[in-house]
Structure 1
Amino acid sequence: MKKHALASLALASVAALALTGCAGGTDDDTAGDASGESKGALTIAVFEGWEEGIATSELWKVVLEEQGYEVELKPVSAAPVFQGLADGDYDFTTDVWEPVTHADYLGQYGDKIEKLGTWNDESKLTIAVNEDAPIDSLDELAGAIDEFNGKIIGIEPGAGLTSVTENEVIPGYGLEDFDYITSSTPAMLSELQAATDAGENIVVTLWEPHWAYSAFPLKNLEDPKGTLGGAETLSSYSRIGFADDFPEVAEWLANFTMDTAMLADLEDVMFNENAGAKDWNPIVKAWVEDNRDYVDALTS
């Protein structure tokens, strides 16, 4: 019951983030160096609905403001992130997945943006079901269409995970008879909540790390054909010229690392322990104080 209550609140939090733009970006704190003068204004593009991107962006907002920068967060969907970086509208983003998830976007925009560094190499795309579902592998899913009401619940239509599911997973396992529903990450999580509460089977597209794994009783379906790819890396990318304009920040981001356990801890604090929060900034600041040695090393 505790998991379900936390998940419900977390869903409200994600939805509130999408509606309000991003509460952290409206923080009234004044950034500046020791003299009180700003070291520059930065705009971070945040992938809407992708919690690891939200969490790391909020973290870097706190870190950079401590170092004297002014920071604004801009939540947008995947395509506008890459287009905005290419156009110079955003300075950087922390949530580019390689080699599979964002391959199409990097193929289109790769020569118009710059890679700063990879901070995690333990992530992966998943197809998940309730832990008591009658199947354990994607190669069993086609034969269990009735058990899942003929539906696969996805996320945003423009997401890399959506493309992989449409072009690799569904044809790879003969799932064309399923109704693949795409809308948004909050909508998918709402469906997951409803199915969990009703004790019904459900299949959703997900990824690890994600707070849903601690909030819902889930298991990943095995992927014997490797349609979802192997381990993915999470990297920061910037507009061209960012490293020249902000060499200090570019160096910090190039050296930035965050393992899955640390990321999961930050996500848990944000999306479970403080689910429903309208402003992530004080929550992340408290997490920063609890992890001061790690945070200080990000800019050392």
Structure 2
Amino acid sequence: MVRKNLVALTAFISAAALALSGCGASNSGTGSAHPGGSDAPSSTVDKKWADCTPGAGAKDVTGMKKDDDRTITIAAFNGWDESFATAHMLKYALEKDGYSVSVKSFDAGPAYTGMAAGDVDLITDTWLPLTHADYIKKYGSKLESLGCWYDNARLTIAVNKDSPATSIEDLKSMGKEYDNTLYGIEAGAGETKVVKDTMIPAYGLQSTTFKVSSTPAMLAQLKKATSSGQNIAVTLWRPHWAYSAFPVRDLKDPKGAMGGAENIYTFARSGFGSDSPKAAQLARNLAFSDEDLASLENVMFSDTEYAGKDNDKAVAQWAEDHPEWIKKWEQGTLPAGKG
């Protein structure tokens, strides 16, 4: 499993710095993602990006003429599963229509620099209004927004579905049900810092053992517990394929200690919409629910499926199993909304 960094992601409601950027994934993507961005922590909030309906600019592309310019480069962020999932989904649909599409892996900074220079056509994984706000502030005049496709990106504390806790605050009185343990991810992850510095003090969970290790170790523990019928509490985030692979659910966070939700947008280089209007419209049509995105990522990245080793084949398999979703995407009728 490829090593990654999870970025600084702090409470949205307090407008604290939030950043997200994984390290070390290959062009194929690895399933070892994320939230947070160490290469560009953002301290600015542009509220215009906070209000977005996924697929708001959607329309039917099935009758549109093919673009004259059908060579497209899409950047996917190292270590971010949803970045590779959406990039390869666009690649699948466009190549089926006769386009030549390449997905190239970057850290966030070089990706935005390349797109501003015209070397990259699309980035499908811009988190706003906080995580990537500095990039949009710096390069926005050279980019085009193609709208958001997801509106529930957040840090979470998750438990097995059949366990008793419904809120994070329940872990204080029900700690014994979970062996007084919360399984975490990397020590340098933004989420780890949020849990240590904000969530645990907010809910008085100082007596809970917070086991900081790695994302693969946390997922292995989650798999072991859910397979054996044991209760477990873990640090997780949305979007993530674990929600499809395992019987888990989020605990409510009444104090907002884990932060609020962000939107995920697609951006293009300046002029892309006029150069490739059909491809741009297909990107605008994109809208994912939690269930569909987790299902796609599960096929792409879980160790019982493709494990990040062949993203093109994984996406093709998922598309073949979900023909109605593909049809609605092309027709611009995918449902949208919170998760």
Partner of 2:165: 135
1:25-40 → structure 2 map (5 Å cutoff): 39-40=70-71
Task: Give, in whole Å, the separation in 1 of the partners of 2:132 and 2:103.
Answer: 22
**2:108 aligned residue (81, 87, 91):** 81
Question: Once the two structures are aligned, what percentage of the paired residues are identical?
Answer: 36
Residue 330 of structure 2 is aligned with which of 275, 296, 300?
296
Aligned to 1:108: 134
Which residue of structure 2 lines up, in the alignment, with residue 61 of structure 1? Answer: 91
Residue 60 of structure 1 and its aligned partner are, at CA, apart by: 0.7
Shift of 1:252: 3.1
Counterpart of 2:35 in structure 1 is none
Cα deviation code 1:227-248 (max 9, x no counterpart): 3345543322345665566554
TM-score calculated relative to the size of structure 1? 0.67
Cα deviation per residue 1:88-146 (whole Å; 9 max; x = unaligned)? 364433233444xxx2x324322125432111335543210233545332123345667
What SS does structure 1 have at the residue aligned with 2:200? helix
- Residues 1:179 and 1:267: Cα distance change in structure 2 (over 3 Å): closer
SS of the residue corresponding to residue 141 of structure 1 reads: helix
- Alignment match, 2:123: 93
In the alignment, the residues of structure 1 paired with residue 25 and residue 267 of structure 2 have an alpha-carbon distance, to the nearest angstrom, of: 25
What's the CA shift string for 1:26-50, capped at 9, x where partnerless?
Answer: xxxxxxxx99x97224132145253
- Kindly state the Cα deviation for residue 154 of structure 1 after the two structures are TM-superposed: 2.8
Aligned to 1:29: none
| Structure 1: runs of 5 or more not aligned | 1-10, 13-17, 25-33
Counterpart for residue 28 of structure 2:
22
Q: Is the deviation greater in 66-75 or in 235-244? A: 235-244
Which of the numbers 268, 277, 282 marks the counterpart of 1:252? 282
The answer on whether the counterparts of 1:83 and 1:109 sit within 8 Å (CA) in structure 2 is no
Q: Which segment is superposed worse, 235-244 or 132-141?
A: 235-244
Give the 5 Å matches for 1:95-174: 95-99=125-129, 103=130, 105-111=131-137, 112-113=139-140, 114=143, 115-122=145-152, 124-133=154-163, 135-142=165-172, 147-148=178-179, 150-154=181-185, 157-158=188-189, 161-162=191-192, 164-166=194-196, 168-174=198-204
* Cα distance in 1 for residues equivalent to 2:266 and 2:211: 30
* Residue 28 (structure 1) aligns with: none
SS in 1 for 2:257: coil
Aligned AA for 2:112? L
CA distances 1:190-218 after superposition (whole Å, capped 9, x unpaired): 23223434655432222345432343232
* Aligned-pair Cα RMSD in Å: 4.1
Of 71, 75, 95, the residue aligned with 2:101 is 71
TM-score of the superposed pair, with normalisation by structure 2: 0.60
CA–CA separation in structure 1 for the residues paired with 2:291 and 2:105? 25
The one-letter code sitting in structure 1 at the alignment partner of 2:28 is C
Aligned-partner Cα distance in 1 for 2:317–2:305? 15
The 1:40/1:122 distance shift into structure 2, 3 A limit, reads same
The 1:67/1:274 distance shift into structure 2, 3 A limit, reads: farther
2:185–2:235 CA contact under 8 A, matched in 1: yes
